[in-house]
Structure 1
Amino acid sequence: MKAVETIVIGCSTGGPGALARLLGALDHRLPASVVVCSHATSSPHTMCHLLAQHSTLPVIEACEREPLRGGMVQVAPPDYHLLIERGRRFALSVDEPVGFSRPSIDVLFGSAAEACGEGLIAVILTGANADGAAGLACVRRAGGAAIVQQPDDAAAPAMPRAALELAGADHCVALDEMASLINRLCMT
């Protein structure tokens, strides 16, 4: 695996709390871009504000045509699919929901797999649906690494379970072990 440049994280039910714990334990010197896609219905300002209170890295909303930024967390805006294009820039789409979700984790992960290949880590956290499973399979096919929260550790185990069943994982760990794993994968 080449050096990790991008980390994409997907979650749904129970996601804001899980994200706060994960982002709060990442190394503040993390060089990779961190991109979050959550089905949480709060406004982007509210989600960014909540995460910024816990994150060791700055947190902002991802915007159309903006570049991915290393050492920063960028959050998908509600009601838009977030895509990563070659050249490491964001694109927003109002295409139909995928699996009843917009933003869709599958859409983000699939585009990230194409744009980032082996320099990508994809993370599936707690959630009550199967969004992210197909995208995680794309990431693994492109040579990226897959990290899935242990289903019995998740507030809602359906999303991690679906990801494991469809795509498998390079690492399946408890939430409290995830940041140290990501730090190790990105900082060595």
Structure 2
Amino acid sequence: MAGRTVSGDRMRIIAGPEECILYFNGGIRQPLQPLAFGTEHCPTVTVEGHMGPIIIIAVSAGGLSPLRRIIAALPATCAASVLIVSHVGPNPSILPAILGMGGNLPVSHGEDGEPVEAGHVYVAPPDRHTYLDRGRIHLDHGAKVHHTRPAAGPLFISAAEVYGDHVLGIVLGGYGADGAEGSAIKEHGGVAIVQAPDEAEQPAMPWAAILADYPDACLPVEKIAAGVALFCAGDRP
């Protein structure tokens, strides 16, 4: 396989149409054919009634267009729960409405204590950090992380601790270093992907993740969207 491996083979930067992306298989990351987040490998996890994988996306400035492409690619049969953190600060957010217009899944701001459902997209509400705890969303007004609230770091860490190798974390473009906590996802057996920095309008967040030495792959948004869609498609195993 082509590609460049750095830091003891902990991260593989994948480029070119012949390359593959990674998939879950009992927590083991393996290469397959192109766009290989195949549904037959979709893990099943039962946590207080919730079944299915967890996808977490961190995004900031310049990342709206890539984010819309990824959400629009998710099929109505998506078996995953998707959680998004965008750096909106305390400002009113219409991101759920924007994403809902072009996608196949319901999109809403997460509410404190709300059960997590498969086939639903949850957006972190303004000025609140989002956490996952045993199948439910929890919000708080804790200290800013990387100078922002909401921040993706708390969600990445809490999801990794609860769902382990059933978590897929994605860092898209934006300012700052939020999302570098995706190392927690790797430490708990999950998969972490970043948008290719040379494609991102604001590459600081992808670069911060790369410099933290944790991503499994750097991919263009086209491959992220197509691969995640295949990963989520079909009936739950």
Report the TM range for the smaller structure's normalisation.
over 0.9
1:34-113 superposed matches below 5 A: 34-41=82-89, 42-44=91-93, 46-85=94-133, 87-113=134-160
Identity %: 35
SS in 2 for 1:10: strand
> Which 5+ residue runs of structure 1 have no aligned equivalent?
none
What does residue 129 of structure 1 align with?
176
The total of aligned residue pairs comes to 185
Question: Deviation at 1:183?
Answer: 2.5
5 Å matches for 1:108-119?
108-119=155-166
Instruction: Assess if the C-alpha contact under 8 Å between 2:74 and 2:232 holds in 1.
Output: no
Aligned-partner Cα distance in 1 for 2:99–2:131: 21
Q: 1:122 is matched by which residue type in structure 2?
A: G
Could you report, residue by residue, the CA deviation over 1:119-172 in whole angstroms, capped at 9, with x for unpaired residues? 110000011111110x20000000010111000111100100110110332221
Change in CA separation of 1:176 and 1:40 when aligned onto 2, cut-off 3 Å? farther
Contact 2:75 2:232 in 1 (8 A): no
TM-score by structure 2 length? 0.74
Q: Which has the higher helix share?
A: 1
Bigger drift between 33-42 and 143-152 goes to 33-42
Separation in structure 1 between the aligned mates of residue 213 and residue 60 of structure 2, nearest angstrom? 18
Shift of 1:84: 0.4
1:151 counterpart SS class: coil
Q: Distance in 1 between matches of 2:187 and 2:232?
A: 20
Per-residue CA deviation, residues 4-46 of structure 1 (Å, 9 max, x unaligned), is 51100001111222211111112221110000000035524x1
2:211 matches 1:165: yes
Counterpart amino acid of 1:156?
Q
Alignment-derived partner of residue 177 in structure 1: 223
The residue type equivalent to 2:159 in the other structure is A
Counterpart of 2:65? 17
Provide the secondary structure at the position in 1 that maps to 2:104: coil
- CA-based RMSD of the aligned residues comes to 1.5
8 Å Cα contact 2:75/2:104 also seen in 1: yes
Out of 172, 185, 189, the residue aligned to residue 139 of structure 1 is: 185
Higher-Rg member (1/2): 2
| 2:55 aligned with 1:7 | yes
8 Å CA contact retained: 1:128, 1:159: yes
Q: CA deviation at 1:185?
A: 3.2
Aligned residues of 2:88 and 2:150 also touching (Cα < 8 A): no
In 2, are the aligned partners of 1:12 and 1:38 still within 8 Å (CA)? yes
SS in 2 for 1:79: coil
- Please list every run of 5 or more consecutive structure 2 residues that lacks an aligned counterpart in the other structure: 1-24, 27-42, 44-51
1:172 maps to amino acid: C
Report SS of the residue matched to 2:170. strand
* Counterpart residue identity of residue 201, structure 2: A
Secondary structure (helix, strand or coil) at the match of 2:192 reads strand
Provide the secondary structure at the position in 1 that maps to 2:198. Answer: helix
